[in-house]
Structure 1
Amino acid sequence: MKIIDGHCDVLWKMYDNPRIDFYDSDTTELDVTYAKMMESNIKIQFFAIYLAESIRQPVFEHYLKYINIFYQKVLKPGLLTVIKNQADLVRVMSGDERGAILTLEGADAIQDNPLYTQTLYHLGVRMIGITWNYANWAADGILEPRKGGFSKKGKIFIKECNNLGILLDVSHLSVRSFWDLAEASTKPFVASHSNAKAVCDHPRNLDDDQLLAIIGQSGRIGMTFVPWFVGDKQNATIGGLLKHIEHICALGGEAHITIGSDFDGIDQWIPGLEHAGQFDQLAQHLSKYYKDDTIEGFLHGNWHRYLQQNLPTY
């Protein structure tokens, strides 16, 4: 069975430790490696550009350093290729290569500069989460105490991304920012790595109204493996993750559920989902409750269909 995973933080770890080798099958430094992608048949992995809080004053050059790591140390001809458009998607899904989609988690260093946004697009960034947990020039994140929404410049940024063909990600946005984006975006958006708040009452999870909004506009909801987004972080299980899937299915979201593991962005793991080579464990649990075609939708089909419909044509 094929897998498409909508979020990992490999680039952050490789930026922090330049000695890490994505193609070293023996490395213990990464949850996601090429060998583990092969082991689970991950056809497409999204790679996030996430600037850690230790970078106090993010500048555009930080993004460029991450992108340089992506092109120099992650992509490899014949093995792993960048996906920028629909033709790339078709080639990867029908061939032997695996695909990588470059995303941005936190638009802080764009600083309302359309040239920076366009440059990121030209360099292959195809999805942007506007904030991390706190506020920036564009919007408030989910942990920002004032609980604000998008700024005027931020709303213009939404339109710029829509026009360019950059997908938008609401994971990490404040509740008000979520609804501002839902109102302003003319394209279907995603929550790349968020679960259901009704099942686990964590600020980063989405309430039913938010889930229904994503479902209603043909977006996607990436089930994430962060233990404390699943349940009790000391006792999170794959069964607990399935409760989130069940809840979203009950809302009519079966065709909108995807995977957004957050591997390499966590330091605790769900037993049986400690790294990207273990997706068979998730598939086995799903097989107890869902038909094969539904499971295929969760694991790759729903992401695939979204990308077919929303990636740029060229």
Structure 2
Amino acid sequence: MKIIDTHCDALYKLWRDEGKAFADDEDIATNAARLKQGNVFVQFFAIWVPSTVPQESKFQVVQKQINAFYERVLAVPNMKAIRSLDEVASLKEGEIGAVLALEGMDALGTDMGKLEWLYEKGVSSIGLTWNDANLCADGIGEMRGAGLTEFGKKVIALNNKHHVLNDVSHLSIAAFWDVLECSKRTIASHSNAYAVCRHPRNLHDDQIDALIASDSFIGVVFYPTFIKSELGASIRDLICHIDHIASRGGVAHIGFGSDFDGISIHVDKLEHAGMYEHLVNELLKHYKEAEVEGFCNRNFIEKAIGG
């Protein structure tokens, strides 16, 4: 089955090391060879700037990661830029669609011109924060736990205008609800169920219910720390999160947001993008083939793109 993955951090690795080759570097879990091996046909590439980068240099890092996307990711044969999500439907057999996403608005300050520039570059999904607070909202790691600022509301409105996805993964609980109130196209690109693993990055049941009610998409994340409280995680442990979301009426809303290349520990037998077969085969033991097809690709297409 063809896979859509709504979150990876390969661009961060390419930015940190200009010598890495996206085609087949063993350190890149989502390198082109592994995407092909895992039958991934759409991969989201997050632009993420560490908080250790000085504020005056952050947008330069964004630019460098976008340059890495166009000059190194797309230089690999059959990697195709998806500049608007409706272009997914036009991918040819053997092509892998590459989508730019922004993880945190920190680098932009309050410069809407920079945001417009990102749209022009093909950024199709934006999460306002990482774990910290910024001028848009508080992230889940900010103790204050405040919601959207007035500037954050302006960003959501502009995302809506440009048909860009509003990603609620990493937001504070208050900001989550604020975004859901004004967003036209919402996803949780890489989030699991809090009821299964009580980590603050995971979604509470009322949040899951609200995403389902708003016809939104939830990409389960492969980071063991978000999967179970104890050390180590199996594919079956990951499926417990899928089971929980499905039990709340979310079968048609579930997909994958691996977080590959942004995580240092992995689910057993799911260490890189070439290993999706193990996950698919295990899912087929518990779900109908049509439901698994939904998890792999169709749910994202229907909920986040439409059609």
On whether the aligned pair clears a TM of 0.5, the verdict is yes
1:292 to 286, 289, 293: 289
Select the residue among 185, 191, 196 that pairs with 2:193.
196
Partner of 1:66: 65
Return 196-205 or 48-57, whichever deviates more: 48-57
Q: Deviations along 1:47-96, whole A, 9 cap, x unmatched?
A: 0001123213253222111100000000137510111225521221x433
Q: Report the counterpart of residue 19 of structure 1 in structure 2.
A: 19
TM-score, length-scaled by structure 1: 0.94
Distance (whole Å) between structure 1 residues aligned to residue 148 and residue 134 of structure 2: 9
Give the distance between the partners of 1:308 and 1:223, measured in 2 at CA: 18
**1:44 maps onto 2:42 in alignment:** yes
| Aligned counterpart, 2:217 | 220
In 1, Cα distance between the equivalents of 2:86 and 2:223? Answer: 33
Cα contact 1:103–1:128 (8 A) shared by 2? yes
Letter paired with 1:79? N
Off by >6 Å, runs of 4+ in structure 1: none
Instruction: Give me the whole-angstrom Cα distance separating, in 1, the residues matched to 2:16 and 2:71.
Output: 16
Letter in 2 for 1:68: N
Residues 77 and 235 (structure 1), Cα distance of their counterparts in 2 relative to 1, 3 Å cut: closer
Give ranges in structure 1 of 5+ residues lacking alignment. none
Q: CA deviation at 1:110?
A: 1.6
What does the per-residue CA deviation read over 1:99-149, in whole Å, with 9 as the maximum and x for residues that have no partner?
000000001112122211111000010000100001000100001011111
Count of residues paired in the alignment: 306
Alpha carbons 1:14, 1:20 under 8 Å: kept = yes
Q: 2-side partners of 1:291 and 1:87: how far apart?
A: 27
Cα deviation, 1:137-168, whole Å, max 9, x if unaligned, reads 01000010111111111111111111112111
Which secondary structure does the structure 1 equivalent of 2:249 belong to?
Answer: coil
- Partner residue in 1 for 2:90: 91
Where 1:142 maps in the other structure, the secondary structure is: coil
* Deviates most, 170-179 or 80-89: 80-89
- 1:112–1:157 contact (8 Å) kept in structure 2: no
Which among 133, 136, 143 is matched to residue 135 of structure 1?
Answer: 133
Aligned mate of 1:121, from 114, 119, 124: 119
Greater shift, 301-310 or 206-215, is seen at 301-310
Q: 2:165 touches 2:304 (CA, 8 Å); kept in 1? A: no
After superposition, the C-alpha distances for 1:237-269 in whole angstroms (9 at most, x for unaligned) are 111111110110111000000100000000001
Aligned runs of 1:146-161 on 2, under 5 Å? 146-161=144-159
Q: In the alignment, residue 23 of structure 1 is paired with which amino acid?
A: A
Q: Is the 8 A contact 1:23 1:33 kept in 2?
A: yes
Normalised by the length of structure 2, the TM-score is 0.96
Q: 1:29 to 1:233 in 2, by over 3 A?
A: farther
**Preserved contact between residue 118 and residue 164 of structure 1 (Cα < 8 Å):** no
Q: Distance in 2 between matches of 1:247 and 1:120?
A: 36
Consecutive unaligned residues in structure 2, runs of 5 or more:
none
Q: Judge conservation of contact 1:47–1:102 (CA < 8 Å) in 2.
A: yes
| d(CA) in 2 for partners of 1:86, 1:240 | 31
Give percent identity, aligned residues only. Answer: 42
Task: Name the residue aligned to 1:82.
Answer: 81
Match of residue 5 from structure 1? 5
Match of 2:279 among 279, 282, 286: 282
